[in-house]
Amino acid sequence: MSITAEKLMNNESFLTLRDESIKYLKRLENADMIGLYKIADELVADKSHLIEVLNFWELWYRDIMVYKTNKQAILYYPDYEALLIDICTKLTYNKISMSLKVLQKSRIDISNNVYAMFVVENLLLDLKEKK
């Protein structure tokens, strides 16, 4: 682990936001449409952390893809390995790849000042989609 990584892993606000980002994904998995829009409202309300949350989600899906291809891989979320294993069984390579692409596009759109609520709602709908 690099010095920067060690500093981040000891930074309370970093760890809190990292955990909150995973809680959003867990909520999304079981959310109905009203729940999905509540998550979108919460994410957009804290716009200062929105890009960071999307970055954490990208790392989450990266871990899912890496674990699905190599069970011995070094994970960014080793503390969530049981959940990652469960999700790996539910998602196809195509769905993981699509999720990473929509996350990247959403991050770019928000950085380019596209209406954040529209971007986040579409992102959540795409992540929720079962295909």
Query: What average pLDDT does the structure give for the chain?
Result: 89
Q: What domains can be seen in the chain, in order of their start residue?
A: 18-128 (1.20.272)
The predicted-structure confidence for 70-88, as pLDDT tens digits, reads as follows 888 889 999 999 999 999 9
Q: End-to-end distance of the chain based on CA atoms, in angstroms?
A: 36
- pTM over 0.85, yes/no: yes
Name residue, tokens 């291809």: 69
